[in-house]
Chains A and B, each alone.
Chain A
Amino acid sequence: MPDVTNIITYIFLFASLNFEVFLLITYFENRLDMKGEDAMIALGVKKYPSVTIIVPCWNEETTVSKTIHSLLSLDYPKNKLKIMIVDDGSTDKTWQNVQKFRNNPQIEMYSKENGGKYTALNFGLDKLSTDLVGCLDADSYVDKDALKHIVTYFEDKETMAVAPSVKLWQPKGPLQLMQKVEYGFGIFTRKMFHYLQAVYITPGPFSIFRKEVFERLGGYKHAHNTEDIEIALRMQKNRYKIVHAHSAVVYTVAPRKIRKLVKQRVRWSYGFIKNAQDYKEIFFNKEYGNLGLFILPMASISILSVLSITTISIFNIAKAIWNTYEKMLTVGFELHMPQWSLDWFYINTELVAIIGLVATLGTLSMILISKRMSEKKLDIGIDLIYFLILYMFIAPVWILKAVYNALFRVKASWR
């Protein structure tokens, strides 16, 4: 008889597997469309719209110059691209460092009192005079073709915002390589959400909007330090079209230390939970299509699923450790090789194990597809191994902390 923990695990496994199958069907359904998009991009931009890229910076003295150089290197007509640096009251040498760009006709720079990223963005939006606007965090760099690829999607009059593919800048070490796979997976899911009209995050680095978005819906909000989730949800609530340009690449620097990574992810997860609460009317509302009926509920269920499966796993691992400890206390440490170790009889063939294996294979196939999408190659490297080993232990930490913060009203800090 399956016990309660097994039943809970079955339910979450069914939901996760169903979600995986749904995304894979979406992928196979739209594979040709993706090739069509690539062909459309290859034809080039018909008419270059004017674009402003706001670079909000707060104490980014080490990376801001590189960010601006990457924007200046964009393959885009110089008279159509404006770069607006907004220093949000930095206390380091950020403002001094950007002065070297002062005489560049493409660049405008402003300094204001510190008020948070969203205030810096709104400061820039108030001075907007171009057709399109985007933002690039001062720790991110753009691929030179990114903007050209993005503006191609604006040829569709319905498109109000375009999200790029975010990749990691020169990932090194287990933690960053683990994140590399995660970001690649993010490219796949965002593209699928694009086909489902359900993109619910316009990432901070280099998402580009029509200026009408802010004129009609207002500027950025504090939004629990995740203004990129809030603006996307606000747009979805008003049924504005958000698409994903999978070939437009922007690079961001990933946290190297686990403490920083957890802090960043707590902010993201907390931001998702709180913004989902703020936009709860979208949930299970068929007016919002796949986003309301499936994607947002599944994103929420995945939080519960990670929490419950982790709790059950921790309980089982603790039980196994306790049993081993008790055994060692009783009979001491023994070097007897278990005689049955190679017997197929002892392979776990319970339903939970088989479904778990299928779900893992589903995740692996999506990761491989996402690798092919983002890296144009299909390989199983050390990054994938790090992801499989580390992610399941680290991710529950930030999810648990974010849920705790959301339940007990502890605000997530930016840094």
Chain B
Amino acid sequence: MEPRKIGSKKYLYSFLITVVIFATAILLSNYFSQKKLDELRNIQDEISIDILSSETQFSLLEESSCKDVGLGTLSTELGDLENKLSYTESERGVNDPEVKILKQYYSLLEIKDYLLMNKISEKCNKTPLSIIYFYSTDGKCEDCEKEGYVLTSLRETYPDLRVYSFDYNIDMSAVKTLISINKVQNKLPAIVIKDRIYYGFQSVEDLEKAVPELVTMKHMLNASSTTATTTRR
């Protein structure tokens, strides 16, 4: 019979090494997570500066013509921020305090961008091309996820279309005011287009019907892509 040896030290070392690997992984994960939050904050700051700059420019050129303050002055990073924010929300969870704060800030930026866009459109005598979308993350809105796919698809097809999405239940007075001004009821998903409210799921076709400008835009996009192809030839 062979006496059995137990490598107690080896158990201890392997356990400690594993703990160190885990601790390093936790630190790394936290580090990257923090970096991502920092990036989100940076984007928000940039958007905030963009909006402030546009507002200031708008005030300075109050009496000027439309071409000085065209729609091109609006921030282009809102879409990118929304993608990153929803990714962070899926990674950290909807109840994460950091996510909640970022979402509040994002909602504020959206409202400011929305107001600025309306002002510019008014100045340029153009119908504002925007969709306000109310959703909820409390699990009660079955069609919200599907509506999200539709709006993402629309935004990808029409880069000039500004989609402002708001969590209906967000604890924020500005959003609550937006809800009350537009008289949006808690029947989600809800979409506001040119002061008209659409409740329930709206397909791409439904929304294209509701915003006829989109069809015009589509023809323009198709025409420009044909021109580009022809030029390339």
Contact = CB atoms under 8 A, between A and B. Distances in A.
Contact of A22 (B14, B36, B150): B14
Interface string A328-367: 0011001010011000011011110011001000000000
| Candidate in B7, B29, B79, B156 with the most chain A CB atoms within 10 angstroms | B7
A25 B25 CA distance: 20
A240 interface: yes
Contact of B84 (A290, A291, A336, A340): A340
A29 B145 CA distance: 55
B37 to A, nearest CB: 11
B25 A351 contact: yes
B91 A350 contact: yes
Contact of B4 (A287, A340, A348, A351): A287
Contacts, number: 102
Interface in A222-279: 238-241
Interface in A346-396: 346, 348-351, 354-355, 358
Given A17-B18, A22-B11, A326 B2 contact: no
A349 B149 contact: no
A18 B15 CA distance: 6
Contacts of A291: 4
A178 B87 CA distance: 36
B60 interface: no
Interface string B33-54: 1001001000000000000000
Contact of A240 (B2, B5, B7, B80): B2
B149 A331 contact: yes
Contact of B14 (A18, A351, A355): A18
Contacts of B93: 1
B112 to A, nearest CB: 23
B4 A339 contact: no
Contacts of B21: 17, 21, 355, 358
Given A1-B93, A197-B4, A354 B14 contact: no
Contact of B25 (A22, A196, A239, A358): A358
A354 B28 contact: yes
A196 B6 CA distance: 8
B174 interface: no
A26 B7 CA distance: 10
Given A17-B18, A25-B10, A339-B83, A197 B5 contact: yes
Contacts of B13: 25
A327 interface: yes
A258 B3 CA distance: 42
Interface residues of A, number: 42
A18 B18 contact: yes
B65 interface: no
A294 interface: yes
Contact of A289 (B4, B28, B149): B4
A354 B25 contact: yes
A228 to B, nearest CB: 20
B203 interface: yes
Nearest to A13: B22
B7 A290 contact: yes
A12 interface: no
A286 B3 CA distance: 11
A345 B84 contact: yes
B26 A239 contact: no
A340 B80 contact: yes
A48 interface: no
A22 B6 CA distance: 13
Nearest to B33: A349
A345 B33 contact: no
B29 A340 contact: no
A158 B14 contact: no
A293 interface: yes
A351 B153 contact: no
A355 B22 contact: yes
Given A158-B2, A239-B1, A349-B36, A330 B10 contact: no
Contacts of B14: 18, 21-22, 25
A349 B10 contact: no
Given A331-B204, A334-B153, A349 B4 contact: no
A14 interface: yes
B204 A355 contact: no
B87 A346 contact: yes
Contacts of B80: 339-340
Contacts of A25: 10, 13-14, 17
Interface in A286-325: 286-291, 293-294, 323
27 contacts: A1-B96, A14-B22, A21-B17, A22-B11, A29-B10, A197-B2, A197-B4, A239-B1, A239-B4, A290-B4, A290-B7, A291-B4, A293-B11, A326-B146, A330-B146, A330-B203, A331-B150, A334-B153, A336-B156, A336-B157, A340-B84, A345-B39, A349-B28, A349-B33, A349-B36, A354-B29, A355-B25
Interface of A: 1, 14, 17-18, 21-22, 25-26, 29, 158, 196-197, 238-241, 286-291, 293-294, 323, 326-327, 330-331, 334, 336, 339-340, 345-346, 348-351, 354-355, 358
